[in-house]
């Protein structure tokens, strides 16, 4: 019965998978043994599912051989590579909780993360881009330099006992990753299998730190059940099969890479293709063309970078069929170009958050193009969503409110933080997302912004995305971000940061003239800045709070106080 209220649930005849990550992985490796599982282009590696399982089992036994036990936390601080995916599945099989460390973290953030969850082991690359990981961990644990053998005892990192580095170089006090890949004895493999039978799918298996833009990062704790099922149903929405080859240029440390990428592939026997250690538009285009990828993941900024690359036309992308665009609102014009110019007629839009494993809504390959460019699709199987007003009451269909999610995908909680867990997940099990959304009569969801991003100008509620979508229609504008900044008269005023297409020139007056008579006067940005780039996270999410901060500093503004 449709009550006309903004509540939807993903009724489905497809049952949830009641299995651990390890058992799903083993099943896939048995069913698709000879098929290609993984291509890591920057490492020159190609592995079948059978070969991938052998290496995963070697690492799982190697970690157990160190003395790590079920429930222990193992951090991984690395860019995309073979070692990352081995760690993902080996820790799951060994019952160890993998802790994803953001590649962009620096000393203070690393120290906080390792101590917050009390990591016993840390697997790390030598460095990434401008970050020297070995130097940073050496600063936090100078005891490594004088450690001959045995567990580490570091004053600032009291829980950390093992530091495992990638590469062949030797670093004092550290183990080398490859030393854990020695062939296990038969009794070790028997013990690993017995452990696998004892693990439960509700066990915590992964911790991912949220951005922490409003305080210290929170460790969202996910279970096997969260990750297996979300990966499976994401793949179902894309119609993945063992014949598909998915290009994964998004970071593995984030749910986008490890769940929507790796887990979606493994649950369907598809191939995982890593084009580079970090996102590079040219290398991604090359990977799709050379590897004949059928799917491609990315956030809108990644697709924009590929579409506007000067060599874009050189690459044959005819093999592409599907993929996911997610991570931030997708501009309608960009979506149309992805479908038309990249041959991704069955591209899907997904919406979610780390705390919900992550996807709650996703468009299907059969949804009309107008639905796929203007919404984030419909509810995922076995998930519930409602949209509520400021008093917690469900709003009618089509009215905006906060999106709340409930179901198998909701995290176990924030690690060792019951207060913040209770603030996020209410007594009825609803996860409060902080996102503003509408749900229409057919169940399609549209994300209209973050609650904290909504601009209130002179009593008018303005959703930045609406203004951004309009400005995207300008033929000379490549990308745009709209934020609210303090104003003495109206409380807030609109500010637009605009990136122009290469070689184009536009003035502030031109932008305002483009808006005149097309959108309400109060939605026309008062402040317009032309920029070369936006501040963003390593996953490609725009950091609007930094845009606000920079504009407030430039204009000498202060927040307006309300009575």
What tens digit of pLDDT does each residue of 440-486 get?
A: 999 999 988 778 788 878 777 788 888 998 999 999 999 999 999 98
- pLDDT by residue (tens digit) across 71-129? 999 999 999 999 999 999 999 999 999 999 988 888 888 999 999 999 999 999 999 98
List the structure tokens of 61: 């036994």
Work out the pLDDT band at 524, boundaries 50, 70, 90. very high
Q: What is the pLDDT of residue 248?
A: 98
- Kindly tell me if the per-residue pLDDT of 561 is higher than 50: no
Tell me the CATH architecture of domain 49-209: 3-Layer(aba) Sandwich (3.40)
Confirm if 273 and 39 have CB atoms less than 8 A apart.
yes
Give the torsion sign (CA, 192, 198, 202, 203).
Answer: negative
Q: What is the pLDDT of residue 215?
A: 60
Q: How far is CA 182 from the centre of its chain?
A: 32
Rounded CA-CA distance 494/481 in Å is 10
List the structure tokens of 342: 């990249």
Q: Which residue has the tokens 């970050």?
A: 131
Beta bridge partners of 455: 462
End-to-end CA distance of the chain: 43
Burial class (CB in 10 A: 0-12, 13-18, 19+), 550: middle
- Kindly tell me if the per-residue pLDDT of 539 is higher than 80: no
Cis peptide before 84 (omega within 30 of 0): no
Return the closest-CA partner of residue 501 out of 319, 322, 304: 304
Rounded CA-CA distance 549/561 in Å is 17
**3-class secondary structure, 562:** coil
Rounded CA-CA distance 188/322 in Å is 41
- pLDDT by residue (tens digit) across 401-454? 999 999 999 999 999 999 999 999 999 999 999 999 999 999 999 988 778 788
Give the torsion sign (CA, 404, 406, 408, 414).
Answer: positive
**3-class secondary structure, 122:** strand
- Kindly tell me if the per-residue pLDDT of 560 is higher than 50: no
Query: Domains of the chain: which residue ranges?
Result: 49-209, 458-555
Q: What is the pLDDT of residue 213?
A: 42
Cβ neighbours of residue 402 closer than 8 Å, sequence gap 6 or more: 387, 388, 389, 432, 433, 434, 435, 436, 437, 451
Helix, strand, coil percentages in the chain from 3-state DSSP, rounded to 5: 35, 25, 40
Q: What is the pLDDT of residue 521?
A: 87
Confirm if 541 and 358 have CB atoms less than 8 A apart.
no
CATH topology of domain 458-555: GMP Synthetase; Chain A, domain 3 (3.30.300)
Q: What is the pLDDT of residue 562?
A: 34
List the structure tokens of 431: 């996860």
Q: Which residue has the tokens 């160890």?
A: 96
In the sheet with 245-247, reading across from the earlier edge strand, the strands are 45-48, 36-40, 271-274, 245-247, 295-298, 322-325, 346-352, 359-362, 378-379
pTM of the model: 0.87
Average pLDDT, the chain: 93
């Amino acid at each position: 019965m449709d009550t006309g209220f903004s509540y939807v649930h993903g009724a489905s005849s497809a049952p949830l998978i009641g299995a651990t990550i390890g058992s799903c992985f083993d099943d896939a490796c048995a069913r698709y043994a000879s098929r290609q599982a993984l291509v890591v282009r920057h490492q020159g590696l190609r592995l079948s599912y059978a070969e991938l399982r052998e290496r995963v089992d070697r690492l799982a036994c190697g970690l157990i051989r160190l003395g790590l036990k079920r429930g222990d936390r193992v951090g991984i601080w690395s860019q995309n590579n073979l070692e990352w995916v081995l760690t993902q599945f080996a820790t799951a099989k060994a019952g160890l909780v993998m802790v994803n460390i953001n590649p962009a973290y620096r000393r203070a953030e690393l120290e906080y993360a390792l101590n917050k969850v009390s990591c016993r082991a840390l697997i790390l690359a030598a460095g990434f881009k401008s970050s020297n990981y070995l130097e940073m961990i050496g600063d936090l644990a100078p005891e490594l330099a004088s450690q001959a053998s045995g567990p580490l005892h570091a004053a600032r990192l009291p829980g950390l006992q093992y530091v495992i580095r990638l590469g062949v170089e030797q670093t004092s006090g550290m183990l080398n990753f490859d030393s854990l890949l020695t062939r296990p004895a038969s009794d070790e493999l028997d013990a690993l299998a017995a452990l696998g039978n004892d693990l439960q799918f509700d066990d915590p298996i992964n911790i991912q730190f949220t951005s922490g833009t409003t305080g210290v990062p929170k460790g969202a704790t996910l279970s096997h059940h969260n990750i297996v099922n979300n990966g499976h149903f994401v793949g179902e929405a894309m119609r993945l099969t063992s014949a598909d080859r998915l290009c994964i240029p998004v970071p593995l440390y984030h749910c986008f890479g490890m769940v929507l990428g790796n887990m979606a592939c493994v649950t369907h026997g598809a191939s995982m293709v890593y084009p580079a250690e970090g996102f590079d538009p040219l290398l991604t285009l090359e990977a799709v063309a050379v590897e004949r990828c059928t799917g491609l993941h990315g956030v809108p900024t990644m697709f924009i970078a590929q579409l506007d690359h000067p060599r874009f036309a050189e690459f044959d992308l005819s093999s592409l069929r599907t993929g996911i665009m997610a991570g931030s609102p997708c501009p309608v014009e960009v979506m149309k170009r992805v479908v038309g110019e990249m041959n991704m007629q069955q591209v899907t839009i997904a919406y979610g958050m780390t705390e919900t494993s992550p996807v709650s809504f996703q468009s299907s390959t059969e949804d009309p193009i107008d639905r796929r460019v203007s919404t984030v699709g419909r509810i995922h199987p076995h998930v519930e969503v409602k949209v509520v007003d400021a008093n917690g009451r469900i709003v009618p269909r089509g009215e905006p409110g906060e999106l709340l999610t409930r179901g198998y995908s909701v995290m176990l909680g924030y690690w060792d933080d019951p207060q913040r867990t209770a603030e996020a997940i209410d007594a009825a099990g609803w996860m409060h997302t902080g996102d503003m959304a509408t749900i229409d009569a057919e169940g399609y969801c549209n994300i209209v912004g973050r609650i904290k991003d909504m601009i209130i100008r002179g009593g008018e509620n303005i959703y930045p995305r609406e203004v951004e979508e309009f400005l995207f229609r300008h033929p000379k504008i490549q990308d745009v971000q709209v934020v609210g900044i303090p104003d003495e008269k109206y409380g807030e005023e609109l500010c637009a940061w605009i990136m122009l297409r290469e070689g184009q020139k536009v003035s502030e007056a031109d932008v305002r003239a483009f808006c005149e008579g097309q959108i309400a006067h109060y939605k026309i940005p008062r402040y317009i800045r032309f920029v070369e780039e936006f501040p963003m996270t390593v996953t490609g999410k725009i950091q609007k709070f930094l845009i606000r901060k920079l504009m407030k500093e430039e204009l000498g503004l202060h927040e307006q106080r309300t009575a």
